[in-house]
Amino acid sequence: MLTGMVIDALDVARLERFWLDATRGRTGGLRLRFVPTVKPKTVLKNRLHLDLAAGPDWEAEVARLLALGATRVDIGQGTVPWDVLADPEGNEFCVLRPGHPGVLADSGLVAICLDVAEEDRHAQGAFWQSQADWHTVEFHDWGVRLRRRPDSTVSLVMGPPAAAKGARNRLRLEVTRRDWEPGEFLDAGGNEFHVTG
C-alpha cells in the first residue's frame, strides 16, 4: 500500500518544517519522510512532485507559502490555471486554484504527480495500482488518477510529459509490503521507490 513519500534534503529539519507548514499537516494520512543527502537538486525538473490545494483565497495561500520560504519557478509551464512554486531546496510543487479537476479538499496535500511518458501510461498505471493498492478513478488523455478510496483527498496522478531522468529521483514513493524485502526498487518507468515491511 502507498504510505508516503521519501524526500532527499540537504537540511532535513528545515525541509521537514517547511512541508509540515506548507501542507498544514494535512497529507491524507501519507507520511512525508525526509532523508539527508549531500547532493543539491540539479536544474532538471523532478519527475515526482506534490500538489497543494489553495482553497477559495488562492492568492493569500500562495503568499503564505512564499513567506514560508517557497519561490516562484518557471519550468516551461506557460499560462496555466495553477501556480508553480519550489520549496527551499528547489523541489517544484503546484498550488491548485479552486475548481481544479480532481481536488477534494480546500487545503493541504491533494495530489502526488508522477511524470509518465505517453507510451508508458498503461504499464505505469497498472504497476502503481498493484503496488499502491489504490484504484483508478479517472483515465483520460492527460493521464491516470488513482485514489485509496473514491473519497480520499489525496490522489496519485500519472501522465505526460515525462521529465528527463538524469540522476536518482529526489522524491520517491514509499509503499508498505509484507511480501517484499525492504529496500529501494525501480518502477516500470525507471523511478526509484521504497518498500518498508
Say what the pLDDT of residue 81 is. 85
**Within a 10 A sphere around the Cβ of 136, how many other Cβ atoms?**
14
Q: At residue 34, does pLDDT exceed 90?
A: yes
Give the tens place of pLDDT for each residue, 86-122.
999 999 999 999 999 999 999 999 999 999 988 888 8
**CB under 8 A, 24+ apart: contacts of 130-139:** 131/2, 131/175, 131/177, 131/187, 131/193, 132/1, 132/2, 132/156, 132/173, 132/175, 133/1, 133/2, 134/1, 134/2, 138/102
**The overall pTM is greater than 0.75:** yes
**Within a 10 A sphere around the Cβ of 94, how many other Cβ atoms?**
21
> pLDDT band at residue 43, thresholds of 50, 70 and 90?
confident
C-alpha to C-alpha distance for 138 and 186, rounded to whole angstroms: 24
Say what the pLDDT of residue 31 is. 97
Say what the pLDDT of residue 165 is. 84
Say what the pLDDT of residue 29 is. 96
Q: At residue 40, does pLDDT exceed 90?
A: yes
Q: Which residue has the higher pLDDT, 16 or 78?
A: 16
Q: At residue 132, does pLDDT exceed 90?
A: yes
Q: At residue 79, does pLDDT exceed 90?
A: no
